[in-house]
A and B are shown apart, each in its own frame.
Chain A
Amino acid sequence: MDTLRVRIYNVRFGDAILVTVSDGGVRRHILIDIGNAFLGEGGVDSLFKSVVEDVLTELGGQPLDLYVMTHEHMDHVQGLQYVQEKICPAESLAARLQVQHAWFPASSEPGYYERNTKAKKKLDEARAAYAAVERYLQAAPADATAWTKTLMALNDWRSTQKCVNFLRGLAQHPWYVHRGVDLAGKHPFQETQFEIWAPEEDTSIYYGTFHPVAAVSPERGNENHGQNQEVIPPPGVDAGAFFDLVKQRRRGHGDNLLAIDKAANNTSVVFCLTWRGHRLLFPGDAEVRSWQEMNKRLALSPVDFLKVSHHASQTGMPPVDILDKLLPAGGGHRFAAVSTFPAADAPPEKFVYLLVPHPDVLAELARRAELRTVIGTADGAPLDFEFNG
């Protein structure tokens, strides 16, 4: 019997997914992201060796039909470049993988920001905000919490740019996709159908507002080091109000980092694959903003498989009314797959944005589908889901 198999590799905090399907009698493959990026134990890179080896074994010398880079975050893009540079620098990974087609978000296309001035403005604001946070953390290193460092690493656009350029170079035919794009000629599949649900072509809609954060003098330290003697209320100025104001002006780099991270997540390529009546949804790290946009623009309907977005965080979870459309309770057997690594190095009550996997998310998914996760499996080990055709 023909099958479609989704293989999710345990890459700790990241995604690496291989879809293998019998398509019109031909065995074809889709590779979705390979990467991880987490400080500490979530970001072990050596496991990519076994992952890529397994991918190549599954390909059996045949070209990789389609590679999908969902979005420009290190935990989705850095794996293949790591393998090329650190594991097999003497061999051409491009020659071994023979990537035929590759999909990237529309905003990854060279020249995109010259054509889309609103998105360019937002990108410039985001990069300026990132640079301001960098300067702030250099001046006030005690404010660089583990979470702050994580988000800085994930969103370092200079590093992700290198990875994206590498991935672009792997593919014979790189394509830049968005909702509404015509996919004819952009993949070799005959009976398997694809729908791009997100992102919108104009990615400016996914950006929030970046607020300027007051500079901190590097010589004087920061407010976390006891009494802040850096600035003193001038005579006649209400001291309580003054210090509250100083504190308020220094707040904001956490907000800005979140806004940068969310914008990148919300530009994820979200695609639905349909094969012989089975519908599978791969949403990358799409967050609430993206889900809301999809719900506004599309007639969402149930899927049989959901790769849970953003590593089972709260913000990657579709709102309940949207989830009711995708995984309706009591609507037949469905799968929900989680690729994540528990954030063991932070107390759960802090920074819920990156509390992954979020227990409420897992509980809700378990109510609606057979929930399976890579947690507890060996590094690089596959978690398979099979659908018969």
Chain B
Amino acid sequence: MKIAVPVMIQDPKLSGHKDLKRIIEEPYVEEDFFLTGPVARRVAVLDFDSETGEQRPGVPFRRLSGERLGGYQIADKKDIYAADFMAASVFGTVLRTMYMFEEPDTLGRPLVWGFDGPQLLVIPLAGEWANAFYDRTSRSLQFFFFENPQDPAHKVYTCLSRDIVSHETGHAILDGIAPRLYDAITPESLALHEAVADLVAAVMSFRSGTLCKAILDETKGSIADVGDFSSIAEEFGQARYNLGYLRDLRNSLHMDQVDHSEPHALSQVLSAALYKMIIGMHERWWQKFSGEGAPLNFSKSGKALAIAADQFKRTVFRALDYLPPAEVSFADYARAIIAADQASHPDNGQERQFIRQEFVERGIVPGPEALEIQTNFEHPALQALDLEALVSSDWTAYDFANRNRDLLHIPADIPFQIEPRLDVTKLYYHQTGKHMVRECLFKVWWMQSEPNPLGPAWPQQRQISVGTTLAIDWETRRVRALLTSDRSARPVEAEIQRADRDAILRRLIQTDVLRAGAPTPGPDGKPISSGIQADLSKGVMRVRSMARMLHMIEEA
């Protein structure tokens, strides 16, 4: 069933709360059913009155007979501050963000959530607070609102910010693709979550035809110096910090300039390094459509931006499938991007070259050799492999991993876990045309102990997850990519990541956020839910749900 849903594409303040045509679109969403809410199989919006806690009736859904499209009955589509508009807008934005990932040239499959259940719950008006978050435990996205000291007449509703909604949806989506990141204690893993979520918001901006047209008209076709796409959550940033944004993806930050124990600060280095890529992509397509060597033709800029946005989307999000299913670093993500690109476009290394250069310049890796990765090679273990059985049979998968520990970097004699195998077919664009590539994604992970120098009150050892992703070309049985977060061969990276883990854990201890042992009851008799929990067992510490600290803004 397909319907049109109004969604915000820019923060209300940016239009002066007037020109709604500029800030609202009505794209289509298609699900197998729609109910009053809005409610669909995978997403449900719950409207609670923040003053009384009462549940408000949802936005009614009107079915129409025959070929006519039904739709949500919003009382006044111009009243963006009405609860029914907000509910519909956030519903549409969440779904559209999901669709972007499911497109054939991105992940090429339906998303699954990081929690055990089919449905993500969304609360557009969760209460008064300058924040928004994704929470795996409650399977929810929660959006809050707050008074704007700069403009007391208008509260700031985070659910009306497409950037914020897309960003939080990005967290939920990434949790389904790489669930181990949620428990990661490596700051770069948490920062990766933040950076990807910010890039999701940016790409969603690029996909808005209305917004792109308006901006390109103003800039005469260029996006190089424009903040509309790169400035995340403009109204929030203005109200809270008197800045034009909450974060700006255009920056020249170096790893030495940021606090490695603070994921939001770290994330800005990664997201800016990657955002710069789309500027280059746009300029190259724009030149190509204008004619090589010819002056840039403004009328070609929009088409160039659309293609560049799709290319950028494929580059940064398709690689998420290749991430090792464990704690990872920025370098691991870069290797995944390069591997995904190299496996499919072995002869065109322009984007890979850019990434290597940019990551070295920003101090993410010491040299380009750190991002060299072998792809498209044969391995005897795969030649006679029954891929159907590998995907469908847990036993076959376990046996394969156990017999090929060396290939998969699994240490001898330690237990490991296998993720559900994925049989995915993705669309690739080559100079020769479109190609569908079918691959099997095989992911294995295990726990590894390392010293835990946090002081005598803490266990001497802690555990982190380590893993390997093996991408197998279904037709040729060649290894498209083999990526591991095992650092045996990368001792310098290992030391940096370990030191960063020490720093973030010390910071959490110092601020009394990290709690050890079983959750204790609070004064109300219910378990204390704030803070980060560390399980202690036989002298080993394992931290859970570190990603809970990833709200839109830093917490104290």
Contact = CB atoms under 8 A, between A and B. Distances in A.
B556 A254 contact: no
30 contacts: A139-B53, A145-B524, A147-B525, A148-B524, A150-B523, A205-B556, A208-B556, A212-B126, A232-B55, A234-B36, A234-B39, A235-B35, A237-B46, A238-B119, A241-B121, A245-B140, A248-B529, A249-B123, A251-B527, A254-B525, A259-B530, A289-B510, A293-B510, A319-B457, A320-B455, A321-B455, A351-B520, A351-B522, A351-B525, A354-B523
B92 interface: no
B117 interface: yes
B126 A236 contact: no
Contact of B49 (A213, A215, A235, A242): A215
Interface residues of A, number: 59
B52 A245 contact: no
Interface in B96-120: 117-119
A91 interface: no
Contacts of A165: none
Interface string B79-103: 0000000000000000000000000
A266 to B, nearest CB: 9
B380 interface: no
B48 A253 contact: no
Contact of A258 (B53, B117, B528): B528
Contacts of A139: 53
A234 B523 contact: no
Given A238-B139, A245-B139, 20 more contacts: A150-B523, A212-B144, A215-B49, A215-B127, A217-B54, A234-B44, A235-B35, A238-B121, A241-B117, A245-B140, A248-B135, A249-B138, A251-B524, A255-B528, A255-B529, A289-B512, A292-B509, A321-B457, A351-B521, A351-B523
Interface in A193-240: 204-205, 207-209, 211-217, 230-232, 234-238, 240
Interface string B159-179: 000000000000000000000
Nearest to B118: A238
B430 interface: no
Contacts of B262: none
Contacts of A234: 35-37, 39, 44, 46, 55, 58
Contacts of B476: none
Contacts of B525: 145, 147, 254, 350-351
A335 B520 CA distance: 31
Contact of B44 (A238, A262, A293, A324): A238
A216 B52 CA distance: 6
A287 B526 contact: no
B52 A253 contact: no
User: Among the interface residues B50, B128, B129, which one has the most CB atoms of the partner chain A within 10 A?
Assistant: B129
Nearest to B33: A236
Interface residues of B, number: 55
A236 B555 contact: no
B39 to A, nearest CB: 4
Interface of A: 122, 139, 143, 145, 147-148, 150-151, 204-205, 207-209, 211-217, 230-232, 234-238, 240-242, 244-245, 248-249, 251-255, 257-259, 262, 287-289, 292-293, 296, 319-321, 324, 350-354
B35 A215 contact: no
B44 A237 contact: yes
B455 A237 contact: no
Nearest to A257: B523
A128 to B, nearest CB: 8
A353 B520 contact: yes
Given A215-B51, A217-B53, A245 B520 contact: no
A209 B126 contact: no
Nearest to B44: A237
Interface string B296-339: 00000000000000000000000000000000000000000000
B137 interface: yes
Contacts of B491: none
A292 B508 CA distance: 11
Across the A-B interface, give the 8 residue pairs with the lowest CB-CB distance, nearest first: A254-B522, A212-B127, A254-B524, A147-B523, A215-B53, A236-B39, A236-B35, A255-B530
A209 B529 CA distance: 12
Interface centre among A251, A296, A321 (most CB of B within 10 A): A251
A175 B409 CA distance: 64
A150 B51 CA distance: 26
B259 to A, nearest CB: 15
Give chain B's interface secondary structure class: loop
B523 A208 contact: no
B43 to A, nearest CB: 10
Q: Which of B35, B513, B530 has the most CB of A within 10 A?
A: B530
Contact of A151 (B36, B51, B139, B523): B523
Interface in B132-146: 135, 137-140, 142, 144
Nearest to B510: A292
A132 to B, nearest CB: 9
Contact of A237 (B121, B522, B524, B527): B121
A353 B555 CA distance: 23
Given A237-B44, A245-B138, A350-B521, A215 B526 contact: no
Nearest to B506: A292
Interface in B491-511: 509-511
Nearest to A137: B524
Contact of A241 (B33, B39, B119): B119
Interface string B34-72: 011101110010101111111100100000000000000
Contact of B512 (A151, A240, A287, A324): A287
A235 B55 CA distance: 13
Contacts of B295: none
B46 A242 contact: yes
B139 A244 contact: yes
Contacts of B510: 289, 292-293, 296
Nearest to B120: A241
B456 interface: yes
Given A234-B46, A235-B35, A320-B456, A242 B522 contact: no
Nearest to A210: B129
A217 B52 contact: yes
A4 to B, nearest CB: 32
Contacts of A240: 117
A254 B526 CA distance: 8
Contacts of B50: 214-215
A205 B555 CA distance: 11
A358 B519 CA distance: 17
Contacts of B524: 143, 145, 147-148, 251, 253-254, 257
Given A236-B39, A242-B121, A354-B523, A231 B513 contact: no
B39 A212 contact: no
Interface string B12-45: 0000000000000000000001011101110010
